[in-house]
Amino acid sequence: MSDAVTILGDHGGRRAAVLTVEAISFVADLERRFGPRRVELLSRRAERARRWLTGEMPGFLPETREIREADWSVAPPPADLTDRRVEITGPVDRKMMINALNSGARVFMADFEDANSPTWENVIDGQVNLIDAVRGEIELETEEKQYRLDEEVATLVVRPRGLHLREKHFLVEGEAVAASFFDMGLFLFHNARELVDRGSGAYCYLPKLESHLEARLWNDLFTHVEHELSIPTGSIRATVLIETILAAFEMEEILYELREHSAGLNAGRWDYIFSIIKTFRNREDMVLPDRGQITMTVPFMRAYTEQLVRACHRRGAHAIGGMAAFIPNRRDPEVTDRALAAVASDKRREATDGFDGTWVAHPDLVGTAQEEFDAVLGDRPNQVERLREDVDPDGEALLDVRVPGGAITGDGLRLNVSVGIQYIASWLRGTGAAAINDLMEDAATAEISRSQVWQWVHHGARMADGTEVTAGLVREVVAEEIDRLSDRYGADVTDEGRFQEAANLFADVSLADEFPRFLTIPAYDHL
């Protein structure tokens, strides 16, 4: 172990093959080279956030007008990312990875971010699983079943944690390393050359970017890694999740910065709603109604997705649609039938709008999503040639957050509290993708839950029946939901399941005077 690097988590057994001397040095070098720029960019985020909180509104950047008006394209996609009509997502848990790779989806996104609780065990064992998956050697035997890869599997894509997070178990010169550099660095060090030798490449999703300058940082990191590992330029490809309102104003610039390394953009719908609430939380005229009423067909969400397709196809890049989070309920066929019909409608809209692929959270949804994209694509691998010239870049439409007929209700408040508590409890127990009310909830939906509550309390919003949403009312609902969970699962289960701890944390981030930037930052101290 280098004197400059300290590892606080267990790194014996298979983990030693991940944290080799060479791999440790590689990650530490990324932190030293790119860490200062990351800190500067986070400071820039904070400075811009202050502008929006004082009434200024974002827009398309005048200083990058030439990029938007110039004629350029991203690099053509590699062969195994040409057809992405259905992508499945999930945490880096060994069984879930095998099932996802075998699901029939074209792409599997192995997630270190919103679908993963970043315990040291989850993070490092996830890297072990990636090494085995890349080499086709991942398998698992339980008392009930043996899990092995099929002959044909999905193309692997990895999502690291966001730039705002740190990995507290890996210190460089006494400071916790950027979690994104840790996750991506270990994945690339161990697997990039192997993937290239197998005729593929090292593919990733980049979460929560807020500007093209952050994309530039990643592009420079990829160029450096390709040189260090002696792999061809463009071996690393990144799809950027457009899940912040600020990134929505810089979509073409983000593609431009990543030209040789770009694999397109994704409409990260849940984080996008969270970003709208967070960015404009001080504006009373931008208070949103119940989460369930903010569908993909409301005007501002429709504008966001259509402009994303236009930006991507104008530059020869893939546009990937949003998440279908439903989990089939085999005990209730009627619930499943209604949900599958809704999933089909959602995917039909995406396919007809011009998206080249979409996301699902469960293997049973792959067929439904694929049917809708097959109906539009036919034998074509994508529809990048559909330029959507009927769509104009419209900043006012992106900022028009009115929801026709929308209202805040008691049921909506209670759902936010219940989902928030249950998800945080699951996250604290080490599970970052939690099945709640027949939906696969992750950190993004928990962020919506707590940020909506904060916004409603902060503005003294009134529900449809005239009741004001106050801190006292929220605390009453939190206490009632804990009682309901205790009745449902038993007091012993809720105590051991960390539900009260989760309820306290939910109340803290929902009722704080100052809005916590991310739920996962204070929650990380509880792991």
Backbone angles phi, psi at 227, to 5 degrees: -65, -45
What is the total residue count of the chain? Answer: 527
- Cβ-based neighbours of 383, under 8 Å, separated by 6 or more: 313, 354, 356, 376, 377
Catalytic residue among 94, 159, 161, 269: 159
Closest by CA position to 450, among listed 400, 527, 512: 512
The answer to whether 27 touches 181, Cβ cutoff 8 Å, is: yes
What one-character-per-residue DSSP string does 54-110 give? TT------GGGHHHHHS---PPPPPGGGS--SEEEEEES-HHHHHHHHTSS-SEEEE
Q: What share of the chain is helix, strand, coil (3-state, %, to 5)?
A: 50, 15, 35
Contact 383, 290 (CB under 8 A): no
Residue 453 near residue 280, CB atoms below 8 Å: no
- 170: closest CA among 159, 158, 186? 186
SS3 30: helix
Measured distance CA(494)–CA(343) in Å, rounded: 32
The dihedral over CA atoms of 433, 436, 438, 442, expressed in degrees to the nearest 10, equals -30
Choice among 93, 125, 356, 442 that is catalytic: 442
> HSE (CB half, 13 Å, CA atoms) of 361?
22
How far apart, in whole angstroms, are the C-alpha atoms of residue 17 and residue 128?
8
C-alpha of 392 from chain center:
27
At residue 400, φ and ψ (nearest 5 deg) are -85, 90
Is 450 noted as a catalytic residue in this protein?
no
Q: Can you tell me whether residue 360 is helix, strand or coil?
A: strand
Among this protein's residues, is 394 annotated catalytic? no
Give the residue numbers annotated as catalytic, written as ranges.
Answer: 159, 442
